Amino acid sequence: MAFTQTERLNALPPYLFAEIDRKKRAALSAGRDVIDFGVGDPDQPTYPFIIQAMERALRKPERHRYPLGGGLPEFRRQITTFFQQRYGVELDPQRELLALIGSKEGIGHLPLAVVNPGRTVLIPAPGYPAYHAAAVFAGGEPYALELSAAGGWLPDFDAIPAEIAHQAVLMYLNYPNNPTGATATLDVFRRAVAFAREHDLLLAHDAAYNEMYFTSERPPSILQVPEAREVAIEFHSASKTFNMTGWRIGFAAGNAAVIAALARVKSNLDSGVFGAVQEAAWEAYAGLDRPEIAETRKMYRQRAELLCEGLRTLGFQATPPEATFYVWAGVPEGLDSITVCNRLLEEVNVVGVPGGGFGRAGEGYVRFSVSVPTERIRAAVERMRALEW
């Protein structure tokens, strides 16, 4: 029997990171020594104190059952403590919090809860490809909220046409930003909340990188804006903060009605986050200020500075980010991002992500994830010196 893909699948471009991974695996299968700056997956192991918590939790029979509901009470309580201590925000653990199987899962399911077919979803570009895919799967119409270097990679709400704003029901934002590394102030979030209230739309802020900052000031939460919970929810993730990408746990916080709607979608599609993982995660958030986590941030900052220094000698425009572990580098003059990334892989076995894959506004840039040891960063720069642009 022949099967045909649905129209919604056909409407999606190949998933950016899956395509890069395919090319990388082909190179590895050919026996080539590949230095991978592609997918943002920490190269450091999960911290021992979290693994120890997981080991204890695995021995508890009650953790082996369905973890139905929006999260274990202890997990919810720890997250409310985290929000109060970090941001001065008091959350209702029952109504304003929801455990997720990684923040990507919640980001992807959200439009199924709040977007009717044909309605507009505002998506930052360049931006995480999952926002576009989520809108398409729900039958929404993505509209690129184009960011620029001149604007500090921040949204210009005044540039959104009135008819688009009127038709929109959901807007994604993401700061600290993937792929650019840009950060946003609380004033930017105030303007975002005011725009959402004015146009009666939901604001979904992806804060997956809030704990990966390199400046003296921590990135804010959008929920610090007093009116935010009328129109906003925020997604957080344990993945990058605690080197837990494979564990798959995050949470959504904010508007109670939206949290309830997202929980209803999830109750029909999954059975919750494994209880032992929730237990390990609440121990992780309780230990957020441990020195080893600060040391990891320092390590990423040093790696980013090293890579940027090398890239600049090769004709790229590269400035160390204020947050995230991504270097967003402008390509040498006269080149496009696909050409640069293809040549990097084919000629010197270095993987970068073409900026055009994050949206049209990302063309002319390459994203490099510094989840690569220092000696491999140096080796990659030396390899790239052999290229003649």
Give the pLDDT of residue 1. Answer: 60
DSSP 31-84: T---EE--S---SSPPPHHHHHHHHHHHT-GGGGS---SSS-HHHHHHHHHHHH
> What is the per-residue pLDDT across 42-72, written as a single tens digit (0 to 9) for each?
999 999 999 999 999 999 999 999 998 899 9
> What is the per-residue pLDDT across 233-282, written as a single tens digit (0 to 9) for each?
999 999 999 999 999 999 999 999 999 999 999 999 999 999 999 999 99
Say whether pLDDT at 24 is over 90: no
Give the pLDDT of residue 21. Answer: 79
Domain ranges of the chain: 13-45+291-384, 48-286
According to the CATH classification, is domain 48-286 in 3.30.450.20? no
Judged by DSSP in three states, 246 sits in coil
Give the pLDDT of residue 20. Answer: 76
Between 29 and 123, where is the model more confident?
A: 123
Sheet holding 326-330, edge to edge: 326-330, 365-369, 353-354
Say whether pLDDT at 23 is over 90: no
**Hunting for tokens 């009717």 — which residue is that?**
116
pLDDT band at 22 (very low <50, low <70, confident <90, very high): confident
Q: What separation, in Å, do the N-terminal and C-terminal C-alpha atoms of the chain show?
A: 49
Euclidean distance between CA atoms 386 and 389, whole angstroms: 10
208, HSE (Cβ side, Cα atoms, 13 Å): 30
Give the contacts of 207 (CB within 8 A, at least 6 positions apart): 174, 175, 219, 221, 222, 234, 235, 236
Q: 18-22, 84-88, 284-288, 331-335 — which is least confidently predicted? A: 18-22
Euclidean distance between CA atoms 115 and 240, whole angstroms: 29
**Hunting for tokens 């997720």 — which residue is that?**
100
Say whether pLDDT at 9 is over 90: no
Euclidean distance between CA atoms 205 and 221, whole angstroms: 9
13-45+291-384: CATH architecture: Alpha-Beta Complex (3.90)
0.85 exceeded by the pTM?
Answer: yes
Judged by DSSP in three states, 225 sits in coil
DSSP helix, strand, coil percent of the chain (3-state; round to 5): 45, 15, 40
- Per-residue exposure over 100-119, b if at least 16 CB sit within 10 Å of its own CB, e if not: bbbbbbbbbbbbbbbbeeeb
